[in-house]
Structure 1
């Protein structure tokens, strides 16, 4: 089942079960997916692919992680806990992310393949890496690993 359809089905289920927290998060995700669908639409009907839906979910997860960080710095554990719960729901729809070791293996292979030897080649390596790992790893992790490998 496609990500969007799964979210819609789970939204109905959350309504039936009166699960307010899950319902709030799923409504937010539905809204973001519809927003993306409308922006992609050309001349009438349109839909988004699972890859595009994954991008929307990754962006929502990243926003939650940043909020958690800010709330913890501001000593607001209650708000950070709410964000953590939302993040857990969002991550349940995301594909399994690659570990740092797996990203490092891909980075080393790409660096060798491209013949990159120093930081001046970082942009070239990052472009190829992000294309290949889109939806499989966070950009910040990829950037960190590539920097370490090129230093």
Structure 2
């Protein structure tokens, strides 16, 4: 089943349960997917593109959460946290720090990287291989730690 179909089913469930936060979150995701389809002009939308949309939406909510928390607006920060939890349900299982480090060690061995000079080569491969399984910031931090 496609992500769009799963989102549509979840929207129906949220409507039945009168879950406003889930409904708002899921409608936002569906709108982004439909926008991507419109921009693709009939071309098939890949799973990687759908995952990228979800990751971007989670990042936006994390940024908003941090801003609201810094301003002492816990009411708005709580809404952002709830929306993140709803969206995260549709992402693939995220790698733990240990699993991420193991994956990146194998990528470093595969590319033959030895120092920070090879950062771009490792990051390019890691970003492709680990897309959807970890966020770019975590990947970058781990690569830098292992190459230094």
- 1:48 offset after TM fit, Å? 1.8
1:122 aligns with 2:119: yes
Q: Which residue of 2 aligns with 1:60?
A: 57
- 1:14 offset after TM fit, Å? 2.1
Q: How many pairs were matched up?
A: 148
- 1:115 offset after TM fit, Å? 1.7
State the Cα deviation string for residues 26-52 of structure 1 (Å, max 9, x = none): 1111111101111122xxx34423222
1:60-139 correspondence to structure 2 within 5 Å:
60-139=57-136
Q: Which residue of 1 aligns with 2:13?
A: 13
Instruction: Decide which moves more: 123-132 or 112-121.
Output: 112-121
Structure 2 contact 95–134 (Cα < 8 Å) conserved: yes
Structure 1 contact 7–30 (Cα < 8 Å) conserved: yes
Q: What TM-score comes out, normalization by structure 2 length?
A: 0.93
Q: Within 2, Cα distance between the matches of 1:21 and 1:113?
A: 44
State the Cα deviation string for residues 111-143 of structure 1 (Å, max 9, x = none): 122221111110111001111111111000000
Q: What TM-score comes out, normalization by structure 1 length?
A: 0.91
Structure 2 contact 14–20 (Cα < 8 Å) conserved: yes
Q: Within 2, Cα distance between the matches of 1:96 and 1:66?
A: 21
Structure 1 contact 4–50 (Cα < 8 Å) conserved: no
Q: Within 1, Cα distance between the matches of 2:9 and 2:44?
A: 17
5+ unaligned residues in a row in structure 2: which ranges? Answer: none
TM-align CA RMSD: 1.3
5+ unaligned residues in a row in structure 1: which ranges? Answer: none
